[in-house]
Structure 1
């Protein structure tokens, strides 16, 4: 007897403006210190459906919500996070930007999301590639499990954002209940290294403007995968992203996005970019050009080869043994097609 063909994936719905989610990029970071509890709380209060935040791990195994591998840019601290302990060192570091805030631990953000009033909010965990994924995922697995009913109340709201394919097997081994999205810049690299193992893609907005990007969105939708875009702060880019009917837009300006989104819901014509600029939009910024996209893809490849905790050639992840965890790689869609 011949093999039974796998069922075709359910296409991702084209979302109406009311269903396009807003995720606070590092919280409400346009106005508050990025990746702090104050920023996360403000984003939720302003109406964010999700929070995007980055993670690094200290020398004593504490997972921090922090973007850079070093403390220097945004805080009073100095040096690499991975070489310093939380206890008595990084716990005393404060943000340069006011209102002055400490660096939050992963468990503190989980506690915030588990408050009854916040149990609708997603968390997109941007796993920075400078960290050892085995150590990071083992430690991060312990924090959600400290909460009652975490498998039903929390795990469905957590998304692992993976920049490098070397993170895929550890994610499957230690956090199999969590969804996996590739975070990156290049649709081509997303197809090559992450298509079979990830349910969605969080890609730079500018890289999706143009024929290649739009074809990637169409192919992802047909394959039942989600698309999110970052970091969208310009109102005309917000309009364009909403018009793509994707899952989520990541923005530093949560209140501004929500205001525009509600205006579009009330008057759908406002999704169009006003005036002649609407016709010129695709040529209005050098970031949208295909030649720029080639350079950006090369830069991402170079970064993946050199910055990852284990530098070297990039190879596709070995998914053997995890076929049951991955399934068909499509997302579990929350809403019906518009």
Structure 2
């Protein structure tokens, strides 16, 4: 039975640049454009000198040869050590946006919780400054699990996306207050765990005027399912596989 009903199909976002290169690297971001997908996602933390470093973890240990919390070091100190598995240092957001500017991709910037007092306000200033510097002010979406991080961006013209903790998707009863609070705060979108998301949850978000996306879907069969659902985008480590699956669905649609 063919259940391809929702067109246009969801956009595809290369999670941390995709899996062809180590995560959150300049090589990965430069390569992301070759997948032919619409979006790329990266993570940022404030350094001790208030620069934005692109790295997923709060500490340097797992993905670089540095050690300790990012917030304890300056950008220059962090970039004096290389990343693991690639002869590059962790990029700044400035460097990442410079690498991505020639593409047409939307950049999803995830602001990680924590950091120094007043860090979210400093992060907002840096994101807006750097997006403007690289001519990308209309090509960024700001994401976070913390609504407080998004509060500085709501009303600024930059789309915002609240990443929802899986426990808040335990049921439609626990999910309902998240939707209501996000809508009241002026947030535009919800980023949802694919394992917890139900059609009722998507419908509830839509009724509140929110779009929704799914993270992080890698298996081809799951991609086939989610690309048929009323979601705005799908984050994946394998944008090449997602693009191939979506191309197949578009072929089915054109034959209908």
Q: Which TM-score tier does this pair reach, normalised by the shorter chain? A: 0.7 to 0.9
Q: Answer with 1 or 2: which has the greater Rg.
A: 1
Count of paired positions: 238
Contact kept in structure 2, 1:156 and 1:179, CA below 8 Å: no
- 5 Å-filtered alignment, 1:168-247, equals 168-172=150-154, 176-185=156-165, 186-187=168-169, 188=175, 190-196=178-184, 197-208=186-197, 213-247=198-232
Unaligned runs of 5+ in 1: 1-13, 269-338
- Aligned counterpart, 1:21: 11
Worse-matched range after superposition: 235-244 or 161-170: 161-170
- 5 Å-filtered alignment, 1:31-70, equals 31-70=20-59
Unaligned runs of 5+ in 2: 170-174
Please give the TM-score of this superposition, normalised by the length of structure 2: 0.86
Which residue of 125, 128, 135 corresponds with 2:112? 128
Q: 2:211, 2:138 → 1: CA distance?
A: 15
Q: Deviations over 1:17-73 (max 9, x none)?
A: x53111000011x23110011111222111121011110011011101110000101
**What secondary structure, in the 3-state scheme, does the structure 2 residue paired with 1:54 have?**
strand
Q: Deviations over 1:278-315 (max 9, x none)?
A: xxxxxxxxxxxxxxxxxxxxxxxxxxxxxxxxxxxxxx
Q: 2:130, 2:139 → 1: CA distance?
A: 14
Say what the alpha-carbon RMSD is for the aligned residues: 2.0
Q: Is the counterpart of residue 84 in structure 1 residue 84 in structure 2? A: no
Q: 2:204, 2:248 → 1: CA distance?
A: 30
Worse-matched range after superposition: 104-113 or 184-193: 184-193
Contact kept in structure 1, 2:65 and 2:84, CA below 8 Å: yes
- Aligned counterpart, 1:95: 83
Please give the TM-score of this superposition, normalised by the length of structure 1: 0.66
Q: 2:55, 2:181 → 1: CA distance?
A: 26
Q: 1:193, 1:81 → 2: CA distance?
A: 31
**What secondary structure, in the 3-state scheme, does the structure 2 residue paired with 1:75 have?**
coil
